[in-house]
A and B are shown apart, each in its own frame.
Chain A
Amino acid sequence: MTRRIKIDPITRIEGHLRVDVEVDNGRISDAWVSGTMWRGMEKILQGRDAREAWLFAQRICGVCTTVHAIASVRAVEDALKLQIPANAQYIRNLILIHHALHDHVVHFYQLSALDWVDVLQIPRADPNKASALAERFSSWTRNSREEMKAAKDKAARIVESGNLGILTNGYWGHPAMHLRPEANLLIFSHYLQALEFQRKASQVVAALGGKTPHIQNLTVGGVANAINLDSEAALGMAGLESIKVLMDEVSNFVRNVYFPDACALAGYYSEWFGSGRGSDRYLAVPDLPRDAHASRFDLPGGFLCDFADGAASRCVKFMDGRFRESITEDVTHAYYRGNKALHPWKGETVPEFTDWHADQKYTWVKAARYEGQPAEVGPLAQVLIGYMQGHALTRKWTDAALDRVSSIAGYRIGIEQLRSTMGRHLARAIRAAVLADLAQEHWHLLADNIFKGDNSTHNPPSFPDGEIEGVGTHEAPRGALSHWVVIEKGKIKNYQAVVPSTWNASPRDKNSVRGPYEAALLGTEIADVEKPLEALRTIHSFDPCMACACHAFDPSGKKVGTARDL
Chain B
Amino acid sequence: MKVAIFRWKAIVPLLLFLAALVGAWLLFADRLGRLALERGGTAALGARVAVRSFHFSFGGGSVTVRGLVAGSPFDSMQNLLEADELTADLDLLPLLEKKVSIDRLAANGLRFGTARTTSGFVPSSGPSASAQIMANVKSWAAQPALQVPILQLATGKLSVDSLDPRKLQTVQAAESLAARADSSRRAWTAAFDSLDATTTADSAVAFARRLQGARPTDLALLRDARRMVDRIKQTRDRLAALERGVKAGGATLDQGLASLQIARRRDYDFARSLVRLPPIDATSIAWVLFGPEAVGKFQRALYYTQLGRTYMPPGLLPRAHDGPTRARRQGATVEFPRAHQPPGFLLRDAELSFFLGGDSAGPRRYAGRLQGLTSAPALYGRPTTLEVRAPTVTADGMFDHVHATSRDVMGATVRGIALPAIALPGLPLRVTPGRGDVSLGFALYGDSLRGRWTVSAPAATWQRDSGAAGGLAADLLWRVVSGIENLDLTAELGGTLSHPELHVRSNLDQAVSERLHSMIGAEVDAAESRLRVEVDRIADQQVAPLKAQAAQLTAEANARVQQGRKALDAAQQQVEQQIRRLTGGIRLP
Do the two chains belong together in a single complex?
A: no
